[in-house]
Amino acid sequence: MRQPIAALLLAGFLAASEPPALVSAQAEEPTEDEVNAIAKGLYCPVCENVPLDVCPTLACKQWRETIREKLALGWNQEQIEQYFVEQYGDRVLAAPPAHGLNWAVYLIPPAVFLAGAAVLVGAMRAWRRPPVDHGMSQPAAAEDPYLDRLEEELRARG
């Protein structure tokens, strides 16, 4: 577990490590919405489960500055995300990248769904018996004597 101070220092270092001349070389300053569009998909290691675009801490503010600088340099979203991954690991991404053990989060849900569906179909088949032909349709059954009567009335109305 990285310590908050270490993360702050790292973030500060990263923010300060870009040559200012390169930043100013870009003609157009990225808008805050452009910064947030990328920050929304990133999580700093300190602020658990708070996306970067809305996190109020100093460390996250510095990360957003780093994104701004990278955008000003012409980097795209993928490059910026990769940059943060290289610095802090996969945990900065909003979802685990699909490799190694991480495949589990993408494969298990459909597998569980299919397995559950198979169990359900099996159980339903096992419980099922041939339908009884009552010769007429039956409306929804009631759950107490009153509703039995109610359903009778509804049936009578056709």
Partner 1 sequence: MTEEIGYTALVMAFLLALYGAGAAAFGAKRQRPELVESARRAMLLSWPLISVAALAIIVLLVSGRYDVEYVAKVTSSTMPPYLKVTALWGGQAGSLVFWSWLMAAFASAAGLRRWDRDRDLLPWVIVVTMVTLAFFLSLVIFVENPFRRLWLDPVGNTVTAFLRPAGARPLVPSDGQGLNPLLRHPGMIIHPPMLYLGFVSFVIPYAFAIAALVSRRTDDRWIRVTRRWTLVAWLFLSLGLLLGGRWAYDVLGWGGYWGWDPVEIAAFMPWLSGTAFLHSVMVQEKKGMLKHWNVLLIILTYALVIFGTFLTRSGVLSSVHAFAQSAIGPMFFAFIGITSIVSVRLLLDRWGALRGENQLNSLISRESLFLLNNFLFIIILAVCFLGVIFPLASELFTGQTVTVGPEWYERITGPLFAGLLLLMGVAPLSAYGSSSWRLLGRQLWVPGALSLVVPAGLLLAGVRNWAAVLGYSLAGLVALVTLYEFWRGALARHRRHGESVPLALVRLAGRNRRRYGGYIIHLGVVLMALGIIGIELFQTETQGTLARGEQLSLGQHVLVFEGLTQFGTPDGREVSRAEVSVYKDGRFVGRLFPRQDFYVAANQPMTIPGVRSTLEEDLYLLLVGWEPIAQQGATFKVFHNPLVNFVWLGGLVFILGTLVAAWPDRETAPVRRRVPAGAWASGD
Q: Can residue 104 be called a binding residue for partner 1 (CB under 8 A)?
A: yes
| For partner 1, the closer CB: 23 or 51 | 51
Q: Can residue 16 be called a binding residue for partner 1 (CB under 8 A)?
A: no
Q: Can residue 158 be called a binding residue for partner 1 (CB under 8 A)?
A: no
Taking the alpha carbons at both ends of the chain, their separation in whole angstroms is 69
The answer to whether 87 and 14 are in contact (CB under 8 A) is: yes
Buried b (16+ CB within 10 A) or exposed e, 66-83: bbbbbbbbebeeeebbeb
State how far the Cα of 91 lies from the Cα of 134, in Å rounded to an integer: 61
Identify the DSSP state of 136.
S
| For partner 1, the closer CB: 18 or 102 | 102
Size of the site for partner 1 (CB under 8 A): 60
From the list 9-17, 19-27, 75-83, 130-138, the region that binds partner 1 by CB under 8 A is 130-138
The answer to whether 139 and 155 are in contact (CB under 8 A) is: yes
Residue 92 identity:
V
Identify the DSSP state of 18.
S
In the complex, minimum distance from the CB of residue 13 to partner 1, in angstroms, rounded to a whole number: 21
The first and second tokens of residue 90, run together, are 């996969």
In the complex, minimum distance from the CB of residue 102 to partner 1, in angstroms, rounded to a whole number: 6
Residues that bind partner 1 (CB under 8 A): 1, 31-33, 35-36, 41, 43, 45, 48-51, 53-54, 56-57, 61, 89-96, 100-102, 104-105, 108-109, 112-113, 116-117, 120, 123-124, 127-129, 131-132, 134, 137-144, 146-147, 150, 153-154, 157
